[in-house]
Structure 1
Amino acid sequence: MVEVVFLHPDLGIGGAERLVVDAALALRRRGCGVQIWTAHFDHAHCFSECRRPALPVYCVGDWLPRTLLGRCSALCAYLRMLYVAWYLVFLSGVEFDVVFCDQVSACIPVLRLCRRAKRVLFYCHFPDRLLQSGKPGPLQRLYRLPIDWLEEYTTGLADLVLVNSKFTAGVFRRTFRSLSHLEPDVLYPSLSFAEPAGGQGQDQDEDQEVLALSPPPIGPGRDFVFLSINRFERKKNLGLALRALHCLRDLLGQEDWQRVHLVLAGGYDPRVLENVEHYRELQEMANQLQLADKVTFLRSFSDQQKVSLLRRCRCVLYTPSNEHFGIVPLEAMYSRRPVIAVNSGGPLESVVDQVTGFLRQPSPSSFAEAMEKLVRSPDLGTNMGEAGRSRVLQTFSVDAFTEQLYQYICKLTQ
């Protein structure tokens, strides 16, 4: 049996975490032994699979700080992952053949210190240096200089590098110039749904749970629900959904407008200041736009609630620009829901414009025009939903993801 250990900085709820969990489950189905090691794990803020004995999760190093007086989060993340790797190699006694690490490559040199040679697979969601928000000042650039060098150098030490999209592969090549000899392979994320969402004849109990999630309700009379699923972070541009809804009001008649509702559902961690601040900012924006009775906010929903939300909605809005890949459009299409997404980054590879949804400029008017078409033409949304479902099954299936990943693991252990 091939033993695979996954190293991940913070096993919360997000796209990166979803991929790690799905990858571990995929390899387990192929007969591999799997463990996940992380610097932070909260049973109340994780995917349901992580609470099951079949997927063991080990948390070490959470006593180390996440920031230094609210700053240096990248440095702290590197130190925490170095400690996890050091603990795994020297203190855990765990035997393993392959390490699958992602997000933080600084731990790779520590893994090389094993008494017996181990193989390292690094999954690059996106270069860390490009995830910084705002324009850095002189001190920030000085602080990032050694961290960026370490990221590039240690990424090159991996035996195999995978990326989540062709878009990220191009960014990888342009960013890590010293690694021009590497050609990362693309392993598209897959989905975690075991049962079809949004299918015919499904149990309606979960739908009733969604109708009562939080005030204002999204019950009868709100029969055209737009749904946004993303973390409450500024880079996700969730305000675009609110401004688009405001523009939509001017495009629809009173009767159609009364039917429309928006649900902003997202990952929310009270430890993360940006999550707390941006959640409040969005609530204030909804009030300023006089949309308070048209918007439901939902924080840190469960997997069951997510499936129910996708079943209850009629369209999914995906607002980030230059998103590395984005699992939400796949979840929407699998659930037979059309997607309105920004025409950049990963959605260019997942959403087919005018077929499974709309790819639009990140402007309220562009999104609102696409939203209007779906409100006025229910059959259009139905046809797009069926096309989206077919596309996911053909291109982004769990079986394809499992087989491709397993072949990579086999290649590393030969």
Structure 2
Amino acid sequence: MTITKRLAAAVTGLLAIGLLSVPVIAAAPAQAQRLPQDRPVTPPNVYFPVSGKNVHDLKNSGKRPGTEIKARCGNRVRASHPGIAVVTSSPASGPNLVAIVTTIGRLTTWYGYMKKATVTSGQLVQAGQVIGRVGQEGKAQFCSLYFAVRGNTGTNVNPSKWLNRTVGKPVNTTSMFDSWGIVVASLNTLGASHTKNDRKYPTYDVRTPQQVALLNSYSADVVGLQEFQQPQRDLFLATAAGTFGIYPDDATLADPSSPFVSGNYHPTENSIIWRNSTMELLDEDFIRVPYFEGYRNMPVVLLRERVTGRTAWFINVHNPASGVGYGDQTSHRAEAIAIERAKVIELRATGRPVFVTGDFNDRKPAFCGLTAGMLTITPDSIPSVSCAPPPSLGIDWIFTAGQARFTRYARDWRPKDLQLTDHPIVWARAHIAD
């Protein structure tokens, strides 16, 4: 049975036991000073489920599990957290009842009374993504959203208290799609050649062992590494002592006729590593992108998550920077983004999700180039046909296309504070669906 069918059965069962029944409305208590609907939020953190002005949570759960959130009919209804949508109906909540399920038996939220649902059953949804419009369906007495929450123990949770406690914070579960997920990261390691005579950053032999410890402290499962020069690679692998697999691997680098090595200067600089205890290599590939005065091959691997058996493609890139002695590289970066986008489309045709990590040396152009047409999202963005970047933009990114979502995300500057590199580590807990 697929995840979607199991979710539909679970939601139907909850309807049968009256989870979404609607009694007489009680008087709303006084609002707290700081309202959840007024808090700034970016994905994958928890959203207040209704957007717009004059939105008011009546906080009238008690005899029934849900609360009514009064708002204008037609206001956008947003998923409070990521998950899989299940669209159903009930006499009480109307014909467009949506459940967003993380994992069966764990956090699930319901959205009723809606005049319209804009998602379909089985659709993967990002936190903050529009899933419908406020209406007056079912037993609604006025324009409002009926909102209910089941927690991680499978029991009803006071939805108003849950919103007050969680809006703007990470979702209170790291289980999604029946998986605890994997930690995906991108790290520019700061090439050894850049710190030979640098007064600010230690040499690579000091930094590299600490970078291994750093990645272990994050329990990183898959990492795209940039500026990973040969001496750094050698010391990293010796320090890690078999913890990580890597591509390009030793056999590839030792073969001068290998397509990855042929015509590719400094072939180690862009590498993908994976934790051998959690991930398994199935296939390898590369893309060729412009870089300063020539082209570089960037690694692509297909990995299997050992616990779930689910697979995904991973691409790691480093696009050329301007102002470092090679002139304006804007056109080369645009060409690189086009090549990288085309590769994502090609790999998505296999039916598997795709992750892209890297130092793109671009903010909005990189984001828009890869997310346009809802091809990909970042952990902190919402799917968009055109371009809807998050409030904070860096040059180091994680993108995903297809059946994967995130429950945690950070652009963490601790590595720079520790003088391990001049970049942040960008990491996310990713969950691959069936």
TM-score where L is the length of structure 1: 0.28
**TM-score, L = length of structure 2:** 0.27
Q: Which has a greater percent of helix?
A: 1
**Greater share of residues in strand:** 2
